[in-house]
């Protein structure tokens, strides 16, 4: 019987496009367009959101400058965790790794709620079969677990097809809106300062960043990339630019499709602003397009589930390989070279959570998805700020130090640190509700950070050599 191997993923399995498919799928463009962007318009800067997406794209490209530069020296499936180890030391790495595990598990498990609700709403009217949301979520969980257990390039092929379809359907709607001249003629007013600064632009920017969550995962696949020194930067920049251009143009088309001056009254008076995209499809493309969008909304959610599952299993693997978590997590499958124990662990954790939410009667969207995705958004913004600081510290050690790159990373640190602070103080905007949970949920990030720091401190005391290797196990 073949034995598990330790510390070796399937090298050379992924090119830049395959990695881009993983991160673009995680960002869930159709999920964001249908669900997150109308909320960003409502609570942010309204018709000025296209310009805010343009700014968000520029800021994320600035982050990517230092991120990809440091990636030349750090090739680890632990990504943020490994970057923190190199730049800030083992204690910070432990804290960062646990924040990453909390954040990615939160969004992945939250997406099971959204998937179950969307699949139920799609299937039930056509079949008359009334199944609970968690039945659809359970079916998705089994298939995600199967893909995650096997070779990484198999998941990439599935994601490639799903991503292409969801982009295509939104682009077709954009073209139809532009072709019709929008509601009352096409306008570039959404890019003018008066609309850019309208409403609450800081909240608009925070919610724009939420729509990019997942793009940062390119470095997770560095150990499995072909020619990672070229592949990772290409995949990172390609992903940020593609997602940014897509959101900027599509939100501009949506604003024009509704009417620049009609958007705010429509959203404020709508009982459910998340039907905005589907209403636009009905108006400009007809019922078949709307049905296609509803189907692809479900498949888009599934693609994000699979992408985040793969990311989480690699974090478990990297932290287990370096003995911060149980060592068994650091083993790979003898045939697939996949982090199969990390994959099974994530699937089991997700299954337990779905069962608990189902038994408690929690609403799959308002509770399961909304609360958990809010935690994930805050956590990943915190991770980007930590990584920006790690990058500055790491690059300052070079001789001579790359001053321009360090300066850009410092700007990134200030921006994302400020956005993280805003997210904590306005967590109610992310959750869409008031109450004690808006204090408890952000506090969970601090709790897991302290747990991670404690695990690293324990490792330093018990095994100083292993502690010294944190973030370095994949060095070649």
Domains and CATH numbers, the chain: 8-468 (1.20.1740.10)
The predicted pLDDT at position 221 comes to 83
149-166 CB burial, b ≥16 within 10 A, e <16: bbbbeebbebbbebbebb
* pLDDT for residue 476: 44
> What is the reported pLDDT for 2?
47
Mean pLDDT lowest among 206-215, 263-272, 291-300, 365-374: 263-272
DSSP designation for 14: B
Give pLDDT, residue 333. Answer: 81
Percent of the chain with pLDDT over 70: 96
Query: What average pLDDT score do residues 93-122 get?
Result: 94
pLDDT band at 1 (very low <50, low <70, confident <90, very high): very low
The reply to whether omega before 400 is within 30° of 0 (cis) is yes
pLDDT for 472 beyond 50? yes
pLDDT band at 218 (very low <50, low <70, confident <90, very high): confident
DSSP summary character for residue 325: S
User: Which position has the higher pLDDT, 439 or 191?
Assistant: 191
Determine the Cα–Cα distance for residues 175 and 173; give it in Å rounded to an integer: 5
Could you read off the pLDDT of 338-371 as tens digits, one per residue?
A: 888 999 999 999 999 999 999 999 999 888 998 8
Q: Would you state the pLDDT for residue 322?
A: 92
Token pair in block for residue 11: 């090298």
Average pLDDT over residues 23-49: 86
Q: How many angstroms separate the Cα of 441 from the Cα of each of 344, 424, 430, 469?
A: 26, 10, 11, 32
**Which pLDDT belongs to residue 248?**
96
The pLDDT of residue 20 is: 82
pLDDT tens, residue by residue, 246-257: 999 999 999 999
Tens of pLDDT, residue by residue over 419-458, are: 999 999 988 888 877 788 888 899 999 999 999 999 999 9
The reported pLDDT for the residue numbered 5 is 52
Say what the pTM is.
0.92
Whether 33 shows a pLDDT value over 50: the answer reads yes
- d(CA 333, CA 329) in angstroms, rounded, equals 11
19-23 mean pLDDT = 80
Query: Quick check: 384 pLDDT over 90?
Result: yes
Q: Give the model's confidence band at 17: pLDDT under 50 very low, under 70 low, under 90 confident, else very high.
A: confident
What residues pair up with 331 in beta bridges, in sequence order?
A: 6
**What does the angle CA 406 – CA 54 – CA 255 come to, to the nearest 5 degrees?**
165
More confident residue, 333 or 256: 256
- Picking from 158, 116, 152, the residue whose alpha carbon sits closest to that of residue 15 is 152
Percent over 90 (pLDDT), the chain:
59
242 to 17, 39, 177: CA distances (angstroms): 12, 22, 20
Q: Which of 61, 94, 85, 97 is nearest to 394 (CA)?
A: 85
- Whole-number Cα distances in Å, 347 to 141, 298, 308, 353: 7, 19, 11, 10
Q: Where are the beta strands (DSSP E) in 41-183?
A: none
Tokens of 312: 């989480």
The DSSP H or E segment spanning 331 is strand 331-332
- Stretch 393-402: mean pLDDT, rounded? 92
Cis peptide before 399 (omega within 30 of 0): no
The pLDDT of residue 211: 87
């Amino acid at each position: 019987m073949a034995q598990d191997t330790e510390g070796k993923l399937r090298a050379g399995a992924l090119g830049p496009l395959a990695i881009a498919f993983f991160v673009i799928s995680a960002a869930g463009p159709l999920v964001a367009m249908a669900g997150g962007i109308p909320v960003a318009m409502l609570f942010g800067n309204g018709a000025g959101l296209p310009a805010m997406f343009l700014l968000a794209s520029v800021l994320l490209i600035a982050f990517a400058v230092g991120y990809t530069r440091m990636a030349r020296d750090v090739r680890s499936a632990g990504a943020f965790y490994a970057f923190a180890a190199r730049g800030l030391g083992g204690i910070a790495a432990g804290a960062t790794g646990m924040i990453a595990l909390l954040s990615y598990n939160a969004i992945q498990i939250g997406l099971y709620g959204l998937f179950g609700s969307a699949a139920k709403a799609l299937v039930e009217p056509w079949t008359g079969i009334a199944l609970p949301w968690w039945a659809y979520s359970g079916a998705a969980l089994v298939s995600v677990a199967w893909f995650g257990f096997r070779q990484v390039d198999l998941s990439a092929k599935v994601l490639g097809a799903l991503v292409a379809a969801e982009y295509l359907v939104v682009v077709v709607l954009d073209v139809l809106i532009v072709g019709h001249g929008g509601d009352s003629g096409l306008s570039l007013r959404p890019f003018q300062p008066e609309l850019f600064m309208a409403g609450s632009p800081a909240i608009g920017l925070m919610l724009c960043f939420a729509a990019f969550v997942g793009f940062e995962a390119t470095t997770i696949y560095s150990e499995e990339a072909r020619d990672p020194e070229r592949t990772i930067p290409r995949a990172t920049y390609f992903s940020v630019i593609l997602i940014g251009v897509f959101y900027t143009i599509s939100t501009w088309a949506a604003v024009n499709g509704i009417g620049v001056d009609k958007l705010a009254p429509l959203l404020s008076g709508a009982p459910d602003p998340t039907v905005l995209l589907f209403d636009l499809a009905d108006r400009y493309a007809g019922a078949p397009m709307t049905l296609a969008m509803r189907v692809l909304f479900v498949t888009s959610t599934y693609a994000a589930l699979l992408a985040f599952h793969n990311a989480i299993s690699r974090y478990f693997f990297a932290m287990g390989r370096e003995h911060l978590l149980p060592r068994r997590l650091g083993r790979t499958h003898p045939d697939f070279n996949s982090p199969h124990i990390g994959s099974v662990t994530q699937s089991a954790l997700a299954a337990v959570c779905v069962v608990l939410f189902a038994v408690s009667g929690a609403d799959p969207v308002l509770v399961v998805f909304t609360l958990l995705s809010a935690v994930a958004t805050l956590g990943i913004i915190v991770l980007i700020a930590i990584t920006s600081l790690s990058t500055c510290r790491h690059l300052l050690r070079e001789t001579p130090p790359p001053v321009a790159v360090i300066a850009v990373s410092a700007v990134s640190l200030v921006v994302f640190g400020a956005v993280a602070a805003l997210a904590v103080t306005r967590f109610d905007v992310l959750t869409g509700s008031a109450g004690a949970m808006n204090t408890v949920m952000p506090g969970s990030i601090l709790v897991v950070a302290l747990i991670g720091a404690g695990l690293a401190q324990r490792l330093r005391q018990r095994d100083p050599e292993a502690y010294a290797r944190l973030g370095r196990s994949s060095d070649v």
